[in-house]
Amino acid sequence: MKSRTGRGSRGQGARRRIPLRKRLLVRLLSVSALIAVCSVAATAWLAVTTTTSALKEEQGQDLAADNSILAQLSGYAATHSDWSGVRRSVRDLAERTGRRIALTTPDRVLVADSAPRGTPLPPRPAASVDPLRTDTYSETGAQLSGIDPRAVGPYRLPAKESAALESLATRDRQCYTRYGLRTTVRRTPSGRPVLTGSDGSDPSRYGVAACGTDGLDAPTPTETRALDTLSGLARPCLRQAGLDVGGGPLFLAFDPGAEDHFGGGPLLAKVAGKDREATVRTAQACVLSARRAQLEPYVAPAADLFLGIGDQNPSRFDMSPANKSKVVSAAGLVLAVTVAVTAAVAIRLVRPLRALTEAAQAPPERHVRVPVTTRDETGILAEAFNELTERRERLEAQRKAMVSDIAHELRSPLTNIRGWLEVMRDGVVDPDPGLLDSLHEEALVLQRIIDDLQDLAAADAGTLRLHREPLSAGELLDQVAAAHRVAADAAGVVLVTEADPAVWLDADPVRMRQVLGNLVSNALRHTPAEGTVTLRARRDGTDAVLTVADTGSGIAAEDLPHVFERFWRAEKSRSRRTGGSGLGLPIVRQLLAAHGGTAHATSESGEGAVFTLRLPATRAPGEEPWGEAAEKS
């Protein structure tokens, strides 16, 4: 048996031993180390990522994205006469590319900016946005003329002319298809359809004469008017350059296959001279200048484009072996400091927790308390544990005292009944009516004690049943006074009732008579002859206040906190016959709590005692609710 017990104790101790991986100190250290490693790794990754991005920006590796921004803004300028609606386009481009985009006039007046107001501009613009003078080396789709092909101005075809050309292009496409040639129709920015082969070349070079039509290549009335205007703008330049073009038209031809919409073949043939190459260059320069003058009213003015992150220069970073060792050393130092600080905090935190654990595992009869050494959450927990220990100690003392009191209260009547029954059985005493009345009285005392204990047990368990109904406080006091009138007259005590007829309760009348009966009986026992016991009822807001006051000897100040404890008597020398069983006032408190009320006692030694009962009041039957009556008043 002993060996099994020993093994059981060792097994219980083993079960209580906390595994190393589950100890609070180990967990705190593990979490702190993990946080330190993650923070160092995240910081290193962020630093490397940021510096790498900065290096890419410095080395021009984001040139493709910048060219795309420039191309889109140039396209906006080519199709709009001003920058008034460009802010939304700038914001969209900034969100897609992740770059800061700002447009200003050449004299640095801000037009649009994706950065918050007040953010400084970079020191230098990245490019100039001018659809009439595009960067032919970085602007995708720019032509040798330096004019954005999307700037068409007066050459934009109306819907009627575009539809007519579209019909001609469809007819020619069908014709080429019959000869086994695959062609596609492409629209130029001006709205003119252009027929191209599968390899992007002109299908007329295949020699299918039946399919070619002069109507598709001929200028429309809109294009003719624009070409005539262009001729007038180019003529002064040509004359100044010494090129005699006469008074007729310049024979500016329209080449639909060219991206810039203009060819200079006939013009160049007309002005050909001794130095044909120089003549061609001069003529092209004049035509280009004239085209810029013609398109200027239709495009937005030139603007400076700023790209990047402001005037901050990204720092350079070199992941050399020396820098790598610095990063590793810094990470190790951070990790060591984190673990050391966490260990110190964890030890300080775990020490009071261990004390609490040892105190909680101590035998219950010892009522061990723990020292409170801190004012943090652990200290508050220790104080709460000590308070719980004190309450448990008090409850244990009350339980022992109650068991002793119950045994004492039951022993006296049982001893009397047993003694008289034994002497009657032995024939020493005859069972006369007086003796039987005495035994019956002892049985009633036992029954009363048992009933009181049952009421207390039901109240403690929450199974006490109440049969509530509207109850007049005045009638309740009158009934209690009438029930105790004989006892009061026998003791020479005057019973007085004072009640406000407007005070009504929603309560169990039987239980409330029991409550007031206990208080009146207690008052009669402690009030000398020619004294007074007064029962009052009044209204206090939404509460009904009932009081039982006497002019007896009163209760000492040190005894007041104990009057509602079970089996407690102010005078220890009083017996259960003269001082009661000690359960009357506890029953009063429990029945009041079941009704949602409270009981309170006040007294001064030698001046009587006052017991105050406070319960929720209710309206009388047939009376308007208080809220409605208040609104009407």
Residue 39 CA to residue 21 CA, distance in Å, equals 23
Q: What pLDDT does residue 322 have? A: 66
Residue ranges per domain, the chain? 18-57+318-361, 62-151+301-308, 153-298, 466-630
Burial 77-97 (b: 16+ CB within 10 A, else e): bbbbeebeebeebbeebbeeb
The DSSP-derived string for 509-574 is: HHHHHHHHHHHHHHHHHHS-TT-EEEEEEEEETTEEEEEEEE-SS---TTTGGGTTSTT--SSTT-
Beta strands 253-254 and 494-499: pairing type? unpaired
Q: How far is CA 208 from CA 180, 258, 407, 511, in A?
A: 11, 21, 130, 119
Pick among 3.50.50.60, 3.30.565.10, 3.40.50.1100, 1.10.1040.10: CATH of 466-630: 3.30.565.10
Residues whose CB falls within 8 Å of the CB of residue 187, separated by 6 or more in sequence, listed in order: 193, 194
Q: What pLDDT does residue 496 have? A: 92
Query: What distance, in Å, lies between the first and last C-alpha atoms of the chain?
Result: 84
Q: How far is CA 37 from CA 24, 31, 44, 322, 332, in A?
A: 20, 10, 11, 20, 9
Mean pLDDT by 10 residues, the chain (633 residues): 42 52 69 76 72 60 72 88 90 86 90 87 86 65 68 89 87 84 85 81 72 74 85 83 65 50 45 58 83 90 80 47 70 76 76 80 78 74 84 77 68 78 81 78 73 70 78 91 88 91 89 87 88 92 92 82 68 47 75 87 84 90 57 45
∠ CA 160-149-200, rounded to 5°: 85
∠ CA 379-382-385, rounded to 5°: 155
* 8 A C-beta contact, residue 506 and residue 616: yes
Q: What pLDDT does residue 309 have? A: 60
Q: What pLDDT does residue 270 have? A: 53
Helix axes 377-425, 321-361, angle to 10 degrees: 20
Residue 95 CA to residue 114 CA, distance in Å, equals 9
Q: What pLDDT does residue 348 have? A: 74
Residue 163 CA to residue 170 CA, distance in Å, equals 10
**DSSP-derived secondary structure letter, 246:** -
